[in-house]
Amino acid sequence: GESVGLHLPTLSVQEGDNSIINCAYSNSASDYFIWYKQESGKGPQFIIDIRSNMDKRQGQRVTVLLNKTVKHLSLQIAATQPGDSAVYFCAEILYGGATNKLIFGTGTLLAVQP
Amino acid sequence: KAGVTQTPRYLIKTRGQQVTLSCSPISGHRSVSWYQQTPGQGLQFLFEYFSETQRNKGNFPGRFSGRQFSNSRSEMNVSTLELGDSALYLCASSLVQGPYEQYFGPGTRLTVT
């Protein structure tokens, strides 16, 4: 496969542990946030989203927390598995009148040790 | 249902040449967006097409262009290639206009020498 990115922040966890991936977003006016997972050789895959009127949302084994005061997002993965190894991106939707754009963060490489 | 497909998967071009990349969206999806992914700049939005019209555009030079056909398939063209255009080019399709509920393809890896 291809490496998604070099020199990414890396989070190394043991299989079965919980993982927390953090992201600082750029625009206080952003209203919608998404976490994506990108495995080697593949495009980003939607994990979970959250709107700015919420501070927490849960999915299957994943939880997203939003702190608008400090413009911070986190993704929590419970009972991390080897298949969770990937690069994780947060993205915000910046509203620009009639057009909206998806702005991605720099990504974090999650390495799950068996 | 088949996912988003991109062709070719890998491409090597020489500086100054032009290149055309193709994206076939998920059946029924009318929006196709293109992104450039590089280690230095990360994932950056190029443009979005919906119903054959460009609806949104990122901050890329005019050398980057695209189009969408009546069957929603999209092509992206880069003219006068530069070394810095080496990247993974991703397309994403969606039922609705805008960056919502997008499904990404595997990308085309372009290398400019």
- In DSSP notation, B67-106 reads EE-TTS-EEEEE-S--GGG-EEEEEEEESSSSSSS-EE--
Rg (CA), chain B: 13
Q: Is the pLDDT of residue A92 over 60?
A: yes
Band (B59; pLDDT cuts 50, 70, 90): very high
Q: What is the mean pLDDT of residues B55-75?
A: 96
pLDDT given at position A5: 43
d(CA A31, CA B91): 23
Give the 3-state secondary structure of residue A83.
helix
d(CA B85, CA B108): 12
pLDDT digits (tens, 9 = 90+) for A50-77: 999 999 999 999 999 999 999 999 999 9
pLDDT digits (tens, 9 = 90+) for A15-33: 999 999 999 998 888 889 9
d(CA A28, CA A109): 25
A44 contacts B90? CB cut-off 8 A: yes
Beta strands A72-77 and A19-24 are antiparallel
pLDDT given at position A97: 62
B106 contacts A43? CB cut-off 8 A: yes
Task: Decide: B65 and B77 in contact? Cβ < 8 Å.
Answer: yes
Q: Which of residues 26-65 of B touch A (CB under 8 A)?
A: 33, 37, 39, 42-45, 55-56, 58
Band (A101; pLDDT cuts 50, 70, 90): confident
Task: Please report residues of B whose CB lies closer than 8 A to that of A32.
Answer: 100
